Amino acid sequence: MEELNLTTTPLDRLGQLERAWRVKIEDLLETETSVIATGTRDATAGEVQAVVLKVVKQQGDEWRSGDVLAAFDGHGVARVYEHEPGAVLLERLQPGNSLLDLTLSGRDEEATDILADVIKQMAARTSTSGVEVSGAATVADWGNGFYKYIATGDVRIPRDLVEAGQRVFHNLCVSERRPRLLHGDLQHYNLLFDRRRGWVAIDPKGVIGEVEYEVGAFVRNPVAQPELLLARSTIERRLKKLTNRLNLDYERALRWSFAQAVLSAIWSIEDGFAVDETNPSLRLAESIRSML
């Protein structure tokens, strides 16, 4: 295998991996955070695999996604053929439409059932095999975002809301039960349909926590339809269905969803986005706070 130089540009690195992993690239897409190529490669016994080659531009949440997906070993996630830090070669999911399509077409209950099925598959893998990913963050590590935000003196998020989110997040962290490897960003945009495998997850961040934490990302999405996700009836329906299907603690899932909504707004500010009182995550946090 050709030695890879991590100081090269993402496109250069894509070319190196194209050769090293024997990929024939057909189409190329460049986003703000990554370079994504679709194509094929010859596998064993003359089989031709349809693949996606993804190169992440810089270290961050997606840098170890190949390790995380490999750890789940196809249980509820896209299969990994090759991976290394900042790059992964995956099975191509076809047609690859996202769970967003179902919710936007009025089928949110069906979308919630699908999420529960995927979480169940992933949790079954991690609950029985002691799966670990070297260097994976814990949810407590992610909770440091509250302290960092307060230290900046920023006032775009009401201080009482930040402090309430921080307090709830901390109390949940110190009382976690059966923490395991989670996806960390399991929501509509990261669940795709494949005609052979059904619905599977992509683009994990990878975090160690209890399964109740996992539902928070779904509760605060899709951001394209805030009038749906902000309704108390939607929040209750989604959480009741998920916690019943997965045998989870409803109150803990509700509290995680509240604290994560506040933390999500903090992360948006860290990433340079404009955040004010109209931010969907902040509005969701206020909605859930009235339910606690």
Structure confidence at residue 52 (pLDDT): 97
CATH number of the domain residue 53 falls in: 3.30.200.20
Residue ending a domain, among 92, 120, 135, is 92
Residue ending a domain, among 63, 92, 121, is 92
Structure confidence at residue 81 (pLDDT): 95
Structure confidence at residue 87 (pLDDT): 96
Q: Are residues 147 and 247 in the same domain?
A: yes
Structure confidence at residue 7 (pLDDT): 61
- Alpha-carbon distance of 175 to 287, in angstroms, equals 24
- How remote is the C-alpha of 270 from its chain's centroid? 18
Write out the residue range of the structural domain in which residue 264 sits. 97-289
Structure confidence at residue 125 (pLDDT): 86
Neighbours of 283 (CB within 10 A): 17
Number of domains making up the chain: 2
Structure confidence at residue 127 (pLDDT): 67
In a domain, 48, yes or no: yes
Nearest one of 90, 102, 134, 118 to 186, comparing CA atoms: 118
Q: Which segments in the chain show pLDDT lower than 70? A: 1-7, 127-132
Q: What is the pTM of this model?
A: 0.92
In a domain, 3, yes or no: no
Structure confidence at residue 42 (pLDDT): 86
In a domain, 208, yes or no: yes
- Alpha-carbon distance of 292 to 24, in angstroms, equals 53
CATH number of the domain residue 160 falls in: 3.90.1200.10
Structure confidence at residue 1 (pLDDT): 37
CB half-sphere exposure, 246, CA atoms < 13 A = 29
Q: Quick one: CA dihedral 261, 212, 200, 233, positive or negative?
A: negative
Give the DSSP per-residue string, 55-67.
EESSSSTTTTHHH
